[in-house]
Structure 1
């Protein structure tokens, strides 16, 4: 492997986007989570929801700030490291990115301050409206970013004039063939990332303070754990269905990527489902393959005799690197089925009344805290590496998109990024960990009474079905 300007520029962009994507993946779901908490507080008057909102909004503020900082860096790289890409796609992608700034970033910026600092300064309904606008802004931002990236995967609605892409149908540009399912898959992935992060952190709080914490803090942890697991249980199967439909689109529009995902070298029907293999790109075969006969064709084409394309259908210089695509996909799918297992396990424990007291389950939920981030990262590896050797699929090769810069210049900037990111994100991660260790703060209920100091009535752990360690359920689990 030659570490020239092209390879170093790819490493630099991969480094920055890997850091960046984990924050939008969290904040998109967290913004909607905050809106749900505030809605439930306004609907029920239950101070637990307000307590949870005030806790998670601090986590959102830090994560949102880190996401903005890391995203700005990527924008500059389009001009410094990928100027030829910008020149080719600027007429198409430039307006799409501008729409994201105008419609989403401005919306978030306008209402973020009210959401973070306006609770005591504006009415409850106006504050809730601001929270909803921030949540909507994150979804609109994801809409335009996914539209731009999906156009690079399945470009449509353009013509090439004088060596540049020129839009001829904006509807086809924005709603290109892969966009609807990719957007749904990404947004659902963000929501599940937040759900498992919230569930895992809540499980950690329960494991850390099983009996000696204030009753309201235990109740808050139990409420957030229950809500997050309900969402995960319902929507993990939905995400698996969306992923299956998205796979049909990859088969249709990016067959070589699908062949790399499956490690399939020869076009065939009745293809086996490969659970494990070591792809050998030199010999064009798989070593140590473990597979289930015929199932692969049914999974990929929904027909047992469906034809699946092979990597040998195209010359070697048209193929993506097989190893990272093959294994990243299996890691992503494995995480997805682990999420499904946690959801089904939680249903069983709800039925038994032991959702909040089964330490084995709480430990498993805590371990799954970063699972959503991992699934998003490995999913992006599959999407971006699987698109190679093209940056605009079928039209612009990555090698032709890089700027005329030296390897030394890219190396220097990459090292600077590593140092700065280590400092900024190290500090941000430390502060987030400090917030999570502290847990929800005491808050006043809607009558102005401090629930930790002067409750209108004693707040007992039984309010959330807590059994006080007796092993008996006080109230039915919500």
Structure 2
């Protein structure tokens, strides 16, 4: 297929499937927490707007959850079919971690999901709220195990190698490896931000079309508070994550920054921040560089005269692709800055009483809707491509992890995945966006409390939107 090897095709296939999959768990994590908050507010205030919003967003949550389960199932098989070398080498670590995720997180989610989706009119309010909280907790626990596995692949710890295979010696070190806290915090906040921007876009669209005004105003307000608070926190967490990466994966940082020479100082000392340029892997330079003197030192080392190792300090075979990383990193950071400015603008308009009346801001909110997910994908690409040429950093190279396949079968399966994913998940995403743009239905009985008695009918739309398979592993959120 276009002269690509089996290794390159296997990498493209896994990258394609995980790029689709990672979007769904991100929204699942955020919406589960949002639903728990909405139900808590409903129980505390008895304000029917919170009930209306809960019943609206649970439909989208159910649909998103189902697509996340299905897309994660495919990746579980890819480990065995395309990456048997990795499974043989590190399966004693990653296998148990993914099993713990199923036993603790997915069983918790699946066990309470039915009550959450279908029990609003069938169980008591306390039990229903408890179920919603358990599902939200399950998504967080699931993220913990998945990120523990992924982080170990970047910063392996707590192991010995016996007969060419990893043997765990200390599970606490395996789980709480050096990069784990930073990756977990970064991913969870990214999920909350992605969901907040999605909710803000949905509400802004409805306000622009004069639909569901009270409910739309409420969810726009909540979403903007989340963006205002979480976006700056994400910047701080990202900075700490960068310092951790500089310590454990210095080649990745050099590639992200487009720096080739360790001792390259500008005339003021330190090293510059390259705002724009085109890293050239063959010529070993960043062409057309636009630089800000000493700012790179300040950001990366918190010192005006600090230094980092340049890419030329690393053997060619150990260098990640700087051309790709340079741009994916800047996409992530640029969108992060845009989120901070967006949150601040919303706060200013709120203080001036123009938040819901500014058509320009509402249009901006719609445009910013996918920004969180795009930034998440760019960040994931930066993380995973930056780990190359290693699958387990410093221990197992990617070309040693791939299965012994010819290029033809891998190309065929990749082509089938592309067609099936765009058809199936494309339809699902389109339907989810249709639900989000339609807005919540008007509350016919705004002062009537919901009936939790037996025999009540569950909204058909919720049942139709949810078809999760409780036997499928709800996993591989990031790899």
**Gapped runs of 5+ residues in structure 2?**
452-479
Residue by residue, what CA displacement relative to the aligned partner does 1:32-89 show, whole Å, maximum 9, x if unpaired?
0000000000110000000000000000000010011000000000000000100000
Give, in angstroms, the shift of residue 102 of structure 1. 0.3
CA contact (8 A) 2:260 2:311 kept: yes
Residue in 1 that maps onto 2:454 = none
Residue in 1 that maps onto 2:278 = 278
Matched, 1:329 2:324: no
Give, in angstroms, the shift of residue 288 of structure 1. 0.8
Residue in 1 that maps onto 2:114 = 113
Residue in 2 that maps onto 1:135 = 136
**Gapped runs of 5+ residues in structure 1?**
451-478
Residue in 2 that maps onto 1:21 = 22
Distance in 2 separating the partners of 1:350 and 1:418:
44
Give, in angstroms, the shift of residue 437 of structure 1. 3.2
Matched residue SS, 1:386? helix
Distance in 1 separating the partners of 2:271 and 2:156:
29
Matched residue SS, 2:262? coil
Matched residue SS, 2:177? coil
Distance in 2 separating the partners of 1:21 and 1:76:
16
- CA RMSD across the alignment: 1.3
Residue by residue, what CA displacement relative to the aligned partner does 1:150-172 show, whole Å, maximum 9, x if unpaired?
00000011011000011011100
Matched residue SS, 2:442? coil
Give, in angstroms, the shift of residue 449 of structure 1. 9.1
Distance in 2 separating the partners of 1:151 and 1:171:
11
Distance in 1 separating the partners of 2:292 and 2:172:
42
Residue in 2 that maps onto 1:466 = none
Residue in 2 that maps onto 1:473 = none
Residue in 1 that maps onto 2:434 = 434
Residue in 1 that maps onto 2:241 = 246
Residue in 1 that maps onto 2:379 = 379
CA contact (8 A) 2:202 2:437 kept: no
Give, in angstroms, the shift of residue 446 of structure 1. 5.3
Residue in 2 that maps onto 1:90 = 91
Residue in 2 that maps onto 1:34 = 35
Distance in 2 separating the partners of 1:438 and 1:189:
25
Distance in 2 separating the partners of 1:285 and 1:362:
43
Counterpart pick for 1:237 among 213, 232, 242: 232
Give, in angstroms, the shift of residue 422 of structure 1. 1.7
Matched, 1:264 2:233: no
Give, in angstroms, the shift of residue 314 of structure 1. 0.9
Distance in 2 separating the partners of 1:102 and 1:445:
41
Residue in 2 that maps onto 1:476 = none
Residue by residue, what CA displacement relative to the aligned partner does 1:199-251 show, whole Å, maximum 9, x if unpaired?
11110111122xxx4xxx10100000001101110111110000000000011
Residue in 2 that maps onto 1:469 = none
CA contact (8 A) 2:321 2:386 kept: yes
Matched, 1:342 2:337: no
Distance in 2 separating the partners of 1:173 and 1:281:
34
Residue in 1 that maps onto 2:61 = 60
Matched residue SS, 1:279? strand
Q: Residues 447 and 329 of structure 1: is their aligned pair in 2 closer, same or farther, counting only changes over 3 Å?
A: same
Q: After the TM superposition, which segments of 4 or more aligned residues of structure 1 sit over 3 Å from their partners? A: 442-446
Greater relative contact order (CA < 8 Å, ≥ 6 in sequence): 2
